[in-house]
Amino acid sequence: MAGGKQAGLALALATRNDASRKKLAAQANAEGRFAPANMGAPAAPASGEQAGRRRTGLRPPLKWAGGKRWIVPYLEELWRPHRHRRLVEPMCGGLSVALALKPARALLNDINPHLINFYDYLKAGLTVSIEMVNRRDVYYRYRDRFNELIATGQADGAEAALLFYYLNRTGYNGLCRFNQKGRFNVPFGRYKRIAYVNDFTAYRAAFAAWEFTARDFAQVGLKPGDFVYADPPYDVEFTSYAKEGFHWKDQVRAAQWLADHPGPVVLSNQATERIWKLYKALGFSLRRLSAPRMISCTGDRTPAQEVLAVKNL
Ligand SMILES: C[S@@+](CC[C@H](N)C(=O)[O-])C[C@H]1O[C@@H](n2cnc3c(N)ncnc32)[C@H](O)[C@@H]1O
């Protein structure tokens, strides 16, 4: 296909100067050149849709299962008196919350290394130089290349970051699924048109004062004054964010870890009976919310019951 060689060349070019880009971004950070935009008085609560339009000049760059843009109006109220604190999201996913709250300082972590690699490169300044088209043949070729990079230990470069973005936007339902060997295996999506982002410059400024890490939440170094917003995978049988999965023992581990934090904590999850009981027993205040499901493997779009659990607020 016409763009094949071009795309391969562009990917190769994109990987050049990665070290220098990261170094430059680190310098900019150290010098404190970042001044977050629109850091004035927080907006009054609004519907998720209104809030999203008004607040975010910057939309989450990826499609991400379990995205919590709709929950932002509730979080804003809780966050407002604490916005001088560092925001820590131990399971940051698609970044819909951080991009909406716009904290001056943030530690954003997720166990998915490809996701964090993409954010690291946005922060360092990622130039889109691959051909991004919504075509099955291109998709599978890029998927093969992405898996080759994983297999050969090159999944932490700019090429992998760009491919991850393309695969996320073009693949089925924005899913991020890996098989037991860690190979990305999401099929081609069914979109008529895709609005690919071709200029990521704005993310570079927004991310400049934010730190990204890729580890298990329990390895995130919390400071006592941190404001923690945790959004673990739903308490359901099947989760596909990472090859390790997220089981009931992990839900319990997360709840205990959050309960141990002496600063403000907010948790959202599916309001199953056992999640409700777990957080209640650990001294959290609970609130039930009705939510639209934005991505569902079964196509089921009925509202889910969610819980917002807070502590030290
Ligand atoms: C519901 S999503 C978060 C969505 C996010 N709040 C948003 O608005 O896009 C849950 C996230 O938890 C991450 N995750 C799963 N297991 C984890 C673990 N053990 N430690 C840290 N993150 C984990 C997943 O990769 C996924 O991105």
Does the C-beta of 110 come closer than 6 Å to ligand 1?
Answer: yes
Distance from the alpha carbon of residue 159 to the mean position of ligand 1, in angstroms: 23
How high is the pLDDT of residue 230? 98
Give the model's confidence band at 243: pLDDT under 50 very low, under 70 low, under 90 confident, else very high: low
Pocket test residue of 110, 240, 248, 251 for ligand 1, highest count of atoms within 8 A of CB: 110
Sheet strands (E) in the chain: 87-89, 106-109, 210-213, 227-230, 265-270, 285-291, 304-311
Does the C-beta of 70 come closer than 6 Å to ligand 1?
Answer: no
Give mean pLDDT, residues 205-216.
Answer: 97
Give yes or no on whether 1-32+127-191 and 47-111+209-311 have one common fold: no
d(CA 236, CA 114): 23
Give mean pLDDT, residues 281-310.
Answer: 80
The 10s digit of each residue's pLDDT in 84-101 is 999 999 999 999 999 999
Residue 68 Cα: closest atom of ligand 1: 8
Sheet strands (E) in 183-249: 210-213, 227-230
Write down the domain spans for the chain: 1-32+127-191, 47-111+209-311
CATH 3.40.640.10 applies to domain 47-111+209-311: no
**Which segment, 8-22, 106-120, 224-238, is predicted with the most confidence on average?**
106-120
The 10s digit of each residue's pLDDT in 101-145 is 999 999 999 999 999 999 999 999 999 989 999 999 999 999 999
Give mean pLDDT, residues 269-296.
Answer: 89
How high is the pLDDT of residue 42? 28
Quote the pTM value: 0.82
How high is the pLDDT of residue 300? 60
Pocket test residue of 164, 241, 244, 296 for ligand 1, highest count of atoms within 8 A of CB: 241
Tell me the pLDDT of the chain averaged across its residues: 83
DSSP state of 32: T
The answer to whether residue 245 scores a pLDDT higher than 90 is: no
Residue 94 Cα: closest atom of ligand 1: 9
Range in 129-133, 265-269, 309-313 with the lowest mean pLDDT: 129-133
The answer to whether residue 297 scores a pLDDT higher than 70 is: no
d(CA 108, CA 273): 29
Q: What is the CATH number of domain 1-32+127-191?
A: 1.10.1020
Give mean pLDDT, residues 240-262.
Answer: 88
Residue with tokens 């917002």: 308
The answer to whether residue 192 scores a pLDDT higher than 70 is: yes
The 10s digit of each residue's pLDDT in 138-190 is 999 999 999 999 999 999 999 999 999 999 999 999 999 988 888 999 999 99
How high is the pLDDT of residue 236? 80
Does the C-beta of 120 come closer than 6 Å to ligand 1?
Answer: no
Find, among 148, 199, 160, the residue nearest to 15 by Cα. 160
